[in-house]
Amino acid sequence: MDDAPLFSLVMCLFDVESYVGEAVEALRAQEFDDWELIIVDDAAEDRSVLRALRAAGRDPRIRMVHNNANLGLAASRNRGLDLARGRYVAFPDAEDHPEPDYLAVAAEAVAAEDPDVVVEGVVEDYFNHRGNVAFSEELRAPAGVYEGDDVDRLMLPLGVGRLIDFVFTKFFRRSMVGETRFEVGRRHYSEDFFFVLEMMERARKVVVVDRSAYRFEKHIRAERNLTFTEGTFLESERRVAALQLHQQEHGLDTPDSRRALGAVYGRAIMDEIARITEQMSDVPKEERVAWVGKVREDPLFETVVARAGQPDGFLDGRIHRALVDPNPKKALRLGHLIGYLKSFGPESWSRTQP
């Protein structure tokens, strides 16, 4: 008799002792109880393992495996995938907080539609330097049952709305995942993006639920004051290029879709400008100007920014105008201003958003 659970949950640990206990407790408190939790200890150097074991208690649904060395998030998730037994697999983070109906909402969608993928919304909680929630933002895609070509059309709102960046709000049919694994060696959250993109390309039926039952905690400690680090821009560019290619390959490339992707790309460019113009940056001024020029010469910029037209929204419109202005210093000044405002933390940055 098959005793495999409906959901296999893979959670990876590396130096998250302040959060993992609550994360495991939140899963044990789920309204739906047909699941297993595979905790992958990625050679944590703090008390993460002890905190996780204490929270797990003697729950038979929870098991832990240990990496002999720190392999990184992608490789650790892959190890958990190899051990998964459930019909569906999901990847809640050890630093976040699923609501009590996180699994129940997905189980209801599975029972009703038997989809390849279930997509939930997410609430991003931005914490300030004092450890309090400065503000929250909810991200959701249009709810519904998507089949066939409609799954292809869903990719743009998922990408523009940043939901494609998060693997932890998705439940994937394990038989569809097959031997596919997360890319190893990529920077922060690109491994999520390309895994989700591959799964959505395969899926022929997707349910997007009208519920955000997962809280993604963004702490100053982890986000480095919300600025990017070296190399992140190249990954952002790669993600936008992948979405643009998807639109082209499926006959969905339109002026509106290019403008929407141009807004995403523009924000990534501004984040990189903020990095290279911050006070501690060692990038000379002439190289900053040259970098803007190099970006403008890229075919992706020409397609989704220069020739696509100005996107909607106050900030996205300002970014677009600065990027296409012949004077590169306008883009540099705006990017530096955005970085300066973000450096004060999420409270100050949130007040600038219309």
Q: What is the mean pLDDT of residues 280-309?
A: 94
Closest to 207 measured CA to CA, from 118, 120, 89, 140: 118
User: Where do the domains of the chain lie?
Assistant: 7-223, 232-350
List pLDDT tens digits, range 205-246.
999 999 999 998 876 544 433 344 557 888 899 999 999 999
In this predicted structure, the answer to whether residue 147 has a pLDDT above a threshold of 70 is: yes
Q: Which CATH topology does 7-223 take?
A: Spore Coat Polysaccharide Biosynthesis Protein SpsA; Chain A (3.90.550)
> What is residue 29's predicted lDDT score, i.e. its pLDDT?
97
In this predicted structure, the answer to whether residue 94 has a pLDDT above a threshold of 60 is: yes
pTM of the model: 0.91
List pLDDT tens digits, range 183-213.
997 665 588 999 999 999 999 999 999 999 9
How large a percentage of the chain has pLDDT more than 90? 79
Closest to 147 measured CA to CA, from 237, 207, 74, 210: 207
How far is Cα 317 from Cα 177, in angstroms, rounded to an integer? Answer: 39
Q: Which residues contact 182 (CB under 8 A, 6 or more apart)?
A: 73, 74, 75, 77, 78, 191, 192, 194, 195
The mean-pLDDT minimum among 49-63, 65-79, 170-184, 331-345 falls in 331-345
Q: Count Cβ atoms within 10 A of the Cβ of residue 327 and give its class: 0-12 exposed, 13-18 middle, 19 or more buried.
A: exposed
> What is residue 351's predicted lDDT score, i.e. its pLDDT?
52
Closest to 122 measured CA to CA, from 223, 35, 209, 22: 209
In this predicted structure, the answer to whether residue 51 has a pLDDT above a threshold of 70 is: yes
How are the residues of the chain apportioned to helix, strand and coil, as percentages rounded to the nearest 5? 50, 15, 35
Report the Cα 347 to chain-centroid distance in Å. 21
Neighbours of 210 (CB within 10 A): 12
> What is residue 222's predicted lDDT score, i.e. its pLDDT?
42
Q: What is the mean pLDDT of residues 21-35?
A: 97
Residue-averaged pLDDT of the chain: 91
Query: Are 5 and 35 spatial neighbours (Cβ–Cβ below 8 Å)?
Result: yes
Query: Are 321 and 310 spatial neighbours (Cβ–Cβ below 8 Å)?
Result: yes
Q: What is the mean pLDDT of residues 130-146?
A: 88
> What is residue 127's predicted lDDT score, i.e. its pLDDT?
78
List pLDDT tens digits, range 247-261.
999 999 999 999 999
Tokens of 311: 């996107």
